[in-house]
Structure 1
Amino acid sequence: MVVAAPTADPVPAPPRRRRLSSAVVVRAVAAVGAGLLLYVSFPPRTLWWLALPAFALLGALVYRRRARAGFGYGFLFGVGFLLPLLTWIGSLVGPVPWVALVLGESLFVGLGGAGMAYVSRLPAAPIWSAAVWVASEAMRGRVPWGGLPWGRVGFGQPDGPLVHLAALGGEPLLSFVTVLVGLALGELVRRAVERQGNRALAVPLIIGVLAFITGPLSALVPTLSGGPGATVTIAAVQGNVPRLGLDFNSQRRAVLDNHVKETEQLASDVAAGKLAKPDLVIWPENSSDIDPLRNPDAAVQIDRAAQAVGVPILVGAVLQNSDGQTTSNSALVWEPGVGVVERADKRRVQPFGEYMPWRSFFRLFSSYVDRAGYFAPGTGPGVVDMAGTKVGVTICWEVAFDDLVESSVENGAQVLAVPSNNATFGFTQMTFQQMAMSQVRSVEHDRTSIIATTSGVSATIDPDGTVTQSTKQFTPAVLVNRTVLRDTVTLATALGAVPEWVLVALGVGAVGATVVIRRQRSVGKDEDG
Structure 2
Amino acid sequence: MVAVTAAGFALYAGSPPREAWWVAPLAVAVLAAVVRHREVRAGFGYGVVFGFAFLLPLLGWLQDFLGADFGPWPWLGVAAVEALFIGLAGAGMALVSRLPTAPVWMAAVFVTAESVRSAFPFGGFPWGRLAFTQDTGPLLSLAALGGTTLVSFSVALIGGGLAELVRAPRRWAVPVAAIAVPLVGGLACWPLVGTDANAGTARVAIVQGNAPNLGLGLLYEDEVLHDNHVRAAQKLVDDVRAGRVARPDFALFPEQVGSWGPSRTDPELSAIASQLGVPLVVGGLGQDGDGRLHNQVVRWDPGTGFGDRYVKKHLVPFAETIPMREFARLVSPFVDRFQSDMTPGEEPGVIDVAGLKLGVGVCYDVAYNDVFGPAAAQGATLLAVPTNNAWYGHSEMSYQQLAMSRLRAVETGRAVLVGATSGVSAVVAPDGSVTAQTDLFTEENLTAEVPLRANRTPATELGSVPMWTLAVLGVGAIAAAGWRSRKSDA
Pair in the same fold by TM > 0.5: yes
- Count residues with an aligned counterpart: 483
| Alignment match of 1:387 (pick from 342, 345, 354) | 354
The 5 A counterparts of 1:68-467 are 68-94=41-67, 95-192=72-169, 197=170, 200-221=171-192, 228-288=198-258, 290-291=259-260, 294=263, 299-324=266-291, 326-363=292-329, 365-366=330-331, 368=333, 370-371=335-336, 373=338, 374-467=341-434
CA distance in 2, matches of 1:460, 1:165: 21
Map Cα deviations across residues 415-457 of structure 1 (whole Å, 9 max, x no partner).
Answer: 0010000001111111001000000000000000000010000
CA distance in 2, matches of 1:367, 1:127: 41
Map Cα deviations across residues 310-331 of structure 1 (whole Å, 9 max, x no partner).
Answer: 100011111123343x421111
The 5 A counterparts of 1:471-486 are 471-486=438-453
CA distance in 2, matches of 1:437, 1:456: 15
2:141–2:193 CA contact under 8 A, matched in 1: no
For residues 293 and 280 of structure 1, do their structure 2 counterparts lie closer, same or farther at Cα, with a shift above 3 Å needed?
A: farther
Map Cα deviations across residues 322-345 of structure 1 (whole Å, 9 max, x no partner).
Answer: 343x42111111111211121111
CA distance in 2, matches of 1:235, 1:266: 8
CA distance in 2, matches of 1:206, 1:522: 32
What displacement does 1:287 show?
1.1
Map Cα deviations across residues 170-222 of structure 1 (whole Å, 9 max, x no partner).
Answer: 00000000111122112212234xxxx4xx23331232112221111122347
RMSD across aligned positions (CA):
1.7
What displacement does 1:258 show?
1.6
| Alignment match of 2:2 (pick from 29, 39, 44) | 29
1:359–1:369 CA contact under 8 A, matched in 2: no
CA distance in 1, matches of 2:332, 2:284: 27
Map Cα deviations across residues 459-480 of structure 1 (whole Å, 9 max, x no partner).
Answer: 0000000000000111111111
2:261–2:287 CA contact under 8 A, matched in 1: no
**Corresponding residue number in structure 2 for 1:8:** none
SS of 2:168's equivalent in the other structure is helix
The unaligned stretches of length 5 or more in structure 1 are 1-27, 524-529
The 5 A counterparts of 1:13-52 are 28-52=1-25
2:160–2:178 CA contact under 8 A, matched in 1: no
What displacement does 1:69 show?
0.2
**Corresponding residue number in structure 1 for 2:456:** 489
1:445–1:489 CA contact under 8 A, matched in 2: yes
SS of 2:172's equivalent in the other structure is helix
The unaligned stretches of length 5 or more in structure 2 are none
Q: Report sequence identity in percent.
A: 43
SS of 1:329's equivalent in the other structure is strand
Map Cα deviations across residues 216-270 of structure 1 (whole Å, 9 max, x no partner).
Answer: 11223478xx971111101110001133322223332222122112112112212
SS of 1:381's equivalent in the other structure is coil
For residues 86 and 366 of structure 1, do their structure 2 counterparts lie closer, same or farther at Cα, with a shift above 3 Å needed?
A: closer
What displacement does 1:294 show?
4.0
CA distance in 1, matches of 2:302, 2:332: 43
What displacement does 1:47 show?
1.1
CA distance in 2, matches of 1:251, 1:53: 44
SS of 1:88's equivalent in the other structure is helix
CA distance in 2, matches of 1:434, 1:393: 15
What displacement does 1:518 show?
2.0
CA distance in 2, matches of 1:490, 1:518: 41
What displacement does 1:372 show?
5.5
CA distance in 2, matches of 1:390, 1:367: 37
SS of 1:341's equivalent in the other structure is strand
Aligned partner letter, 2:118: G
What displacement does 1:368 show?
4.0
Aligned partner letter, 2:35: V
What displacement does 1:123 show?
1.6
The answer on 1:519 being equivalent to 2:486 is yes
CA distance in 1, matches of 2:66, 2:322: 13
TM-score, normalised via structure 1 length: 0.88
CA distance in 1, matches of 2:345, 2:57: 32
CA distance in 2, matches of 1:168, 1:430: 27
CA distance in 2, matches of 1:367, 1:243: 19
SS of 1:427's equivalent in the other structure is coil
Map Cα deviations across residues 107-141 of structure 1 (whole Å, 9 max, x no partner).
Answer: 11000000000011112211110000010001000
1:355–1:372 CA contact under 8 A, matched in 2: no
Map Cα deviations across residues 267-301 of structure 1 (whole Å, 9 max, x no partner).
Answer: 2212222222100110000112x3265475xx111
2:418–2:426 CA contact under 8 A, matched in 1: yes
Aligned partner letter, 1:375: M
What displacement does 1:508 show?
1.1
What displacement does 1:79 show?
0.1
1:263–1:309 CA contact under 8 A, matched in 2: no
CA distance in 1, matches of 2:262, 2:428: 32
SS of 2:449's equivalent in the other structure is strand
CA distance in 1, matches of 2:463, 2:237: 40
For residues 366 and 45 of structure 1, do their structure 2 counterparts lie closer, same or farther at Cα, with a shift above 3 Å needed?
A: closer
CA distance in 2, matches of 1:333, 1:210: 45
What displacement does 1:408 show?
1.3
For residues 455 and 293 of structure 1, do their structure 2 counterparts lie closer, same or farther at Cα, with a shift above 3 Å needed?
A: farther
Aligned partner letter, 1:520: K
Aligned partner letter, 2:364: W
CA distance in 1, matches of 2:30, 2:212: 45
